[in-house]
């Protein structure tokens, strides 16, 4: 395996062989924890927004369908109502995909990593530094994966919002159009 340059992250073999500075490893460990926490907080915000919008969209679909069933609407309005319901349905599907559980990793580590004979019975602080370096290395994968997953969530969330705007815009445009036509007569 080739050695990485000074500007690249070391691979696991290089970490095992390296002489580690405890202060730098500790700082990298803390920073990786903060970064992963930010990614998880962003995920929580995306999920909260998607769930709120999904609830609203499904409620609006139910209301629109009950209006259609009640016979209150004129026949010409059902086409536009159907388009709005279809758009809200597409938005709901998009928001549902935004809410799907994706792998983000964990802030903590498995006790199994720590409760090994070579780690637990070590009297050397260098072993703690090495463990923190390994955990920081592992967190990098979770950070990359979580960032990618958040981009996917955001894409589906934005699509859901666009479909919602379209669904609300259709009746508004039709109403304005009818008012203008009525006014011009």
Average pLDDT over residues 1-12: 72
- pLDDT band at residue 15 under the 50/70/90 scheme: confident
- The residue with tokens 């920081």 is 136
Cβ–Cβ under 8 Å, residues 164 and 53: yes
Q: At what angle do helices 125-184 and 75-99 cross, to 10 degrees?
A: 170
At 122 the three-state DSSP class reads coil
pTM of the model: 0.78
pLDDT of residue 1: 46
Instruction: Give the tens place of pLDDT for each residue, 49-68.
Output: 999 999 999 998 888 778 76
Average pLDDT score over the chain: 85
């Amino acid at each position: 395996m080739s050695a990485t340059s000074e500007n690249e992250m070391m691979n696991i073999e290089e970490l095992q062989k390296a002489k580690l500075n405890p202060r730098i490893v500790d700082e990298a460990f803390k920073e990786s924890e903060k970064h992963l926490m930010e990614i998880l907080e962003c995920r929580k915000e995306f999920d909260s927004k998607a769930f709120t919008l999904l609830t609203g969209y499904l409620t609006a679909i139910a209301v629109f369908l009950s209006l259609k069933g009640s016979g209150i609407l004129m026949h010409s309005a059902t086409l536009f109502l159907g388009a709005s319901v279809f758009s809200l349905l597409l938005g709901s599907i998009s928001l549902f995909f935004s809410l799907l559980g994706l792998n983000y990793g964990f802030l903590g580590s498995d006790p199994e990593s720590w409760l090994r004979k070579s780690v637990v019975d070590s009297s050397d602080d260098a072993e703690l530094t090495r463990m923190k370096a390994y955990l920081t290395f592992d967190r990098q994968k979770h950070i990359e994966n979580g960032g990618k997953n958040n981009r996917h969530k955001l894409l589906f969330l934005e699509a859901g919002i666009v479909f919602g705007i379209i669904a609300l815009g259709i009746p508004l445009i039709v109403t304005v159009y009818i008012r203008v036509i009525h006014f011009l007569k």
